[in-house]
Structure 1
């Protein structure tokens, strides 16, 4: 069933190669529930041209109080399986809230990072974090490179997408969900994604895959459209993670 060489004959994501944002690790957040689920998603994403995966479960104290240790255990469930050649590592998607402020202030332990000390952060979809700029600054002071996850999905930017540009001025990188360009999350998310792509503001692209429905929509979308040209104004850094020191 699992064949990393069974590439889809339609438009693919081979140009991306690396998926740096997903919720495929089993039994740890709102993503895959079992190892079997994880292997199914990885097999289908591999068929779409992705061959390297960094996994980023939520760390959100009120809902998913994960730790680097619990994420490492979930990652271990996939090691030694037929998916082994695809497994590059794990990090986390941190919710920027009061718990995150406390974590940074106390410096209890290093954050779970992507290569190069990149840290994936997110906010509530409905209200901008009042401390987001401070969090970005604090991360940088501590030697981290923040990446804001899926800015196109925050509803408070839909009427003023230009507000997102300030994150680049602050030195924060931006990650787009590939499903946004297909309109999966809605027309406003698609419009905001186009705004960011047209201005060359996107640095990373992720599937943000949680479950089979996400993969199905990717497969269906890629049958209809080659999306690579949409990213031509952006310098996508996914593959650069392979050359970063950890």
Structure 2
């Protein structure tokens, strides 16, 4: 049974005491997120209206599609700092496609992690990771990186294979849920899988994965439909993200 309340509950209600977003595409002109400084300002203002207190920008690094380097990402962030007064974006990292190139980048010390040496990674949306990719993740762990898997609920090739997620958890992967997933933005199958993973208490962190203003308008206008137990789990995730706040460093 889902949580039934006379008062509709929105993400804003769960973020009202502060929330640090660790997955978004707010920096302009660097991936498939914001296209201009004006759009970035609109996105940052809208996120703050939803109760999000600060963000760490995570543009894609996806060889062959988004060939971002750490220096290019840092330059994009520097441009943001120079052109904004609110400093809502408090830091910068990347959402890395999990592939073997990361081993070389780790060796060359050119990976840009989140605070605490957390690394946000994603798998292909079309194909499950190979054993070679898992070996790369193992090598990253040996380098001291703590791996956060972005939006596991969106890897629908595992929608009927919960044991695949259980295996990833034994590999010490942290799971980051997209807030849009629970709202059904990506479709009913993703919503169903996100609820299943919540039921199993597999999530560790939360992110918005904001690319454009439509994402935030959908978040603002769509109520959550969750079980009481899962509401508690979400509150734990919101609190877990606070470790990335600049006020804690």
What TM-score bracket applies, with the shorter chain setting the length?
A: 0.7 to 0.9
Q: What is the deviation of 1:200?
A: 1.1
Residue-pair matches, total? 234
Quote the residue 2:143 is aligned against: 142
| Matches for 1:158-177 after TM superposition, within 5 Å | 158-177=159-178
**How far apart in 1 are the matches of 2:186 and 2:231?**
19
In structure 2, which of residues 67, 79, 86 is the aligned counterpart of residue 83 of structure 1? 86
| Matches for 1:1-246 after TM superposition, within 5 Å | 11=13, 13-15=15-17, 17-80=19-82, 81-84=84-87, 86-104=88-106, 107-130=107-130, 131-221=132-222, 224-225=223-224, 230-233=230-233, 235-236=236-237, 237-242=240-245
Gaps of 5+ in 1: 1-7
Q: What is the deviation of 1:244?
A: 9.8
Off by >6 Å, runs of 4+ in structure 1: 243-246
Q: TM-score, normalised by structure 2?
A: 0.86
Q: What is the deviation of 1:218?
A: 0.8
Which structure has more RCO (C-alpha within 8 Å, separation ≥ 6)?
A: 2
Larger deviation, residues 236-245 vs 135-144: 236-245
Structure 2 CA distance for partners of 1:227 and 1:216, relative to 1, 3 Å? farther
Partner of 1:137: helix, strand, or coil?
A: helix
Structure 2 CA distance for partners of 1:12 and 1:72, relative to 1, 3 Å? same
**How far apart in 2 are the matches of 1:75 and 1:43?**
17
Partner of 2:40: helix, strand, or coil?
A: helix
Q: What is the deviation of 1:233?
A: 3.2
Gaps of 5+ in 2: 1-9
**How far apart in 2 are the matches of 1:9 and 1:199?**
21
RMSD of Structure 2 on Structure 1 (CA): 2.4
Q: TM-score, normalised by structure 1?
A: 0.87
Structure 2 CA distance for partners of 1:228 and 1:71, relative to 1, 3 Å? farther
